[in-house]
Amino acid sequence: MKKIFLVLILGYAYTAQAQYGYGDSQSRRQNQMMQTEQKAPEPNFDVERYIGIVNYDIEKAAKKSSIKLTSKEGQEFSRVLTKYNKDIKDITRINTFVLRSTKDMVENYQKTVMKTGDNSSQKKVMTTMSENLKPISEILKKEDRELDKTIKALLSEKQYKKWIKYNRKIYKVFPKEEE
């Protein structure tokens, strides 16, 4: 009976040690992790994503839309996206200064807010940003409407739905036709 008691006590002690770690070392490790101060990430404002600039990977877009690039429809799809990508690159290149200055302005604002905690000038920054980017966004809306109209005429209804689903995943939204 004494031997059974001894085995049970040793079994419980062994289980308790296995479950709760080796004494104090685990709690020390947790304290060290809590004491290390984490630095906030640097602001990184993606202007292109904000206004909807997307350069398509033609093969991936065709695959996601269930289009075979070797078919006549696929070749036309490829031609349309190639033209669109070229036009978007030209628009981006022409407006590089505006895009870069807007990005710098927003990032500087975010840095000052992180340092001081004062975000009273947020409305001013947002209005300035929208004024700077409005002409570019208007041109992009026009290009997007043309692309959407062409793609809609080119693809079947099922393929067009997949195309729209793919665009939502890459954060691209086509503007609605204005009546």
The DSSP line for 14-32 is: HHHHHHH-STTHHHHHHHH
The residue-averaged pLDDT of 156-166 equals 91
Backbone phi, psi, residue 18, to 5°: -65, -35
Domain ranges of the chain: 2-33, 47-169
The residue-averaged pLDDT of 86-96 equals 95
Residue with the larger pLDDT of the pair 132 and 176:
132
28-37, 102-111, 121-130: range with lowest mean pLDDT: 28-37
DSSP state of 42: P
35-39, 70-74, 93-97: range with lowest mean pLDDT: 35-39
CA end-to-end span of the chain: 92
Q: How confident is the model at residue 130 (pLDDT cuts 50, 70, 90)?
A: very high
SS3 (DSSP) at 130? helix
CA separation for the pair 126, 133 (Å, rounded):
11
In the block, which residue shows the tokens 């001894």?
6
The sign of the CA dihedral 29, 34, 35, 40 is positive
14-40 pLDDT tens trace: 676 655 555 555 566 666 655 556 677
Between the CA atoms of 62, 159, 78 and 88, what dihedral angle is there, to the nearest 10 degrees? -90
